Structure 1
């Protein structure tokens, strides 16, 4: 998803204001550096910076897409490398384990249909006398 490019409402308002002031006097000088040419110069600086910012966002989006593509290629090649080690040395070999695979003879046996439980959801081994783990009040009769 592309990043949202910026458009400045302040810039748009300033452009309209400059056009209106230009109709009063193209060389209007209100003192203290408040001149129409200085105002127009600052408008152009803002327009240039906004364009540079939006171009940078487009380039960043392109780099991000390229990085994701390379990441997919890397994951695919890593999987193929592991499968290559498994083909050459076998899935029960020490080399397969060294390459990052879990050797076949060291895998935990699961019951059919059982899903692995993430560590964060595994039950703790602390329980109270009444079988309550401290999360809910004990049922009373």
Structure 2
């Protein structure tokens, strides 16, 4: 199951508040580091982290798909190898069995009397 990109409610709320303060032309500085400038900086820092996280998720999803394709390719190749061994040596051969094939049971009548 692929991971979903992350959204941050805190980031969305902060961006809306910043936009509202900028629209009012307010230059908020309440002292002790509580200012619009610092609010914007913290918001941008979180935004970068969310974007980085989402990029990693996208990379992981692509890698997952690449692995699935490589597994399918390997399974197909394994099947071709086994079929090739069967064609050259037969399905009753030790070579076929050592390549991972299963010998057919020799069919014969069993006298139970």
Range into which the TM-score falls when normalised by the shorter chain: 0.7 to 0.9
Unaligned runs of 5+ in 1: 108-141
TM-score (norm 2): 0.81
1:105–1:97 CA distance, 2 compared to 1 (3 A): same
1:10-89 alignment runs, 5 A limit? 10-22=10-22, 23=24, 25-26=26-27, 28-89=28-89
RMSD: 2.0
SS of alignment partner, residue 104 of structure 1: coil
| Equivalent-residue separation in structure 1 for 2:90 and 2:20 (angstroms) | 80
Shift of 1:10: 0.8
Larger helix fraction of residues? 2
Q: Corresponding residue for 2:6? A: 6
Aligned residues: 106
SS of alignment partner, residue 101 of structure 1: coil
Unaligned runs of 5+ in 2: 108-113
Which structure has more relative contact order (CA 8 Å, sep 6+)? It is: 2
